[in-house]
Structure 1
Amino acid sequence: MRKWKRVETAEGPRFRSALDAHEATLLQSLVNSLTEMLDERETSSPTDELEELTGMRTGHSTPPEDDTMLRLLPDFFRPQHDHPAGSRTAESLNSALRSLHEPEIIEAKRHAAQRLLDTLPLSGGRFEIAEDDAHCWVACVNDVRLALGTMLEIGADGPDHLPAEHPMAGHLDVYQWLTVLQEYLVLGLMGKRS
């Protein structure tokens, strides 16, 4: 992967980079896996009478049981165990907000993933994307990083490396590659040289 280059045009900024064929294939696979996870979460949503009556889409009222999906769709509020009203208030609020907003959040994540896939050079090479697509790339790559980071149990303190014999050792390299890809694009969006 090459650094992103910001180019000012009459239609607004454009962002240029290049990917090797294996990088494009890897990114496509990771984004397709993310989309499948989001689709599975959405299609497993229970039927809601309010949705049937009003046409308002609703989603799950309970958080995902899977840590990876929970990282992608976290609670809106953390329970306050020392709050005078207790933690049930936050849990009830989370349930209502999740039911109302999770479909929109999944749709936004799916849209960003699709824009990345639509602008990804599938056989590698140089490519250029518009600013709106650059924002979609940043959002989607971030979601892939969050998912992969959760699987690798990456916290604030690392890990910076894994032993070569560790079954996830290669995935850490992918996580770090995604971090660089995202960082360079964010710097480009901010108008800074990377």
Structure 2
Amino acid sequence: MRKWKRVDGPAGPRFRSSLAAHEAALLRNLVTSMVEMLADRESSAPSDELADITGIRTGHSQPPEDETMKRLLPDFYRSRSEHPAGATAAESLNRALRSLHEPTILDAKREAAQRLLATLPEGGGKLELAEADAQAWASAVNDVRLALGTMLDIGPDGLDRLPPEHPMAGHLDVYQWLTVLQEYLVLGMMGR
């Protein structure tokens, strides 16, 4: 993976880089797996009669049980004890907000992932992204990083290494590569 280069033109900025064939295949597999996880969450949402009548989509009111999905779809209020009305009110508000907004959040995550997949060169090679595509890439790569980081149990202080015999040791290298990919892209988007 090469650093991203920003090229400003009359139609707006473009972002150029290239990926090796194995990098493109890995990214495609990771993003496709994440899209499947999001689809599973969406398809398991309960039906809502009011949504059928009004056309307003609703989703789950309960957070995901899976830790990876919890990281991708966190509660709206993380510290429930700090809510002025108490923990029960915060939980109720989280359920209502989740039910109303989760379908839109899933759509946005899926759209970003699909834009990445649509602009990812098959077999690797050079790529050039418009600004909207670059933003989609940054979002989708971040979601994949969050998912993989949760699976690796990476906390706020990070994780430098795993013992070589650890079954997820190779995945840490992938996580670090995704971090660099995202960082270079964001710096390129910032013009640095």
Give me the TM-score of the superposition, normalised by structure 1: 0.96
Aligned to 1:186: 186
Counterpart check, 1:131 vs 2:131: yes
1:167 equivalent in structure 2: 167
Closer, same or farther: CA 82–129 of 1 in aligned 2, 3 Å: closer
**Counterparts of residues 29-178 of structure 1 (less than 5 Å):** 29-81=29-81, 85-178=85-178
Compute the displacement of 1:71 (Å): 0.2
Distance 1:153 1:132, change over 3 A: same
Q: Determine the C-alpha separation between the residues in 2 that align with 1:82 and 1:126.
A: 49
Given that residues 80 and 91 in structure 2 are in contact (C-alpha distance below 8 angstroms), is that contact kept between their aligned partners in structure 1?
A: no
Q: Distance in 2 between matches of 1:5 and 1:75?
A: 36
Count of residue pairs brought into register by the alignment: 192
Matched residue SS, 1:63: coil
Give the direction of change, closer, same or farther, for the CA distance of 1:164–1:48 in structure 2 (3 Å limit): same
SS at match of 1:17: strand
The whole-number CA distance in structure 2 between the counterparts of 1:105 and 1:96 is 14
SS of residue matched to 2:8:
strand
Q: Secondary structure at the match of 1:81?
A: helix
* Runs of 4+ with >3 A deviation: none
Residues 43 and 83 (structure 1), Cα distance of their counterparts in 2 relative to 1, 3 Å cut? closer
CA–CA separation in structure 2 for the residues paired with 1:83 and 1:190: 36
The letter of the residue matching 1:175 is Y
Q: What SS class does the counterpart of residue 140 from structure 2 fall into?
A: helix
User: Superposition RMSD on alpha carbons, in Å?
Assistant: 1.0
TM-score (norm 2): 0.97
AA of the residue aligned to 1:168: M
Which stretch shifts more, 48-57 or 60-69?
48-57
Show CA shifts across 1:71-113 (max 9, x none).
0000001353365632011101001100000000000000000
| 3-state SS, counterpart of residue 6 of structure 1 | strand
Q: State the match for 1:17 in structure 2.
A: 17
Q: Aligned pair in 2 of structure 1 residues 186, 157: CA closer, same or farther (>3 Å)?
A: same
Judge conservation of contact 1:79–1:91 (CA < 8 Å) in 2: no
User: Is contact 1:8-1:14 (8 Å) kept?
Assistant: yes
Query: CA 1:168/1:15 → structure 2, altered by over 3 Å: closer, same or farther?
Result: same
Q: Letter of the aligned partner of 2:26 in structure 1?
A: L
Using the alignment, how far apart are the partners of 2:104 and 2:93 within structure 1?
A: 17
CA distance in 1, matches of 2:149, 2:119: 25
Instruction: Kindly provide the CA deviation profile for residues 5-35 of structure 1, in whole angstroms up to 9, marking residues without a partner as x.
Output: 0001110000000000000000000000000
User: Which residue type is aligned with residue 44 of structure 1?
Assistant: S
For the 8 Å contact 1:79–1:88, the answer to whether it is kept is no
Change (3 A) 1:84 1:114: closer
Distance verdict in 2 for CA 1:123–1:83, change over 3 Å: closer
CA contact (8 A) 2:83 2:89 kept: no
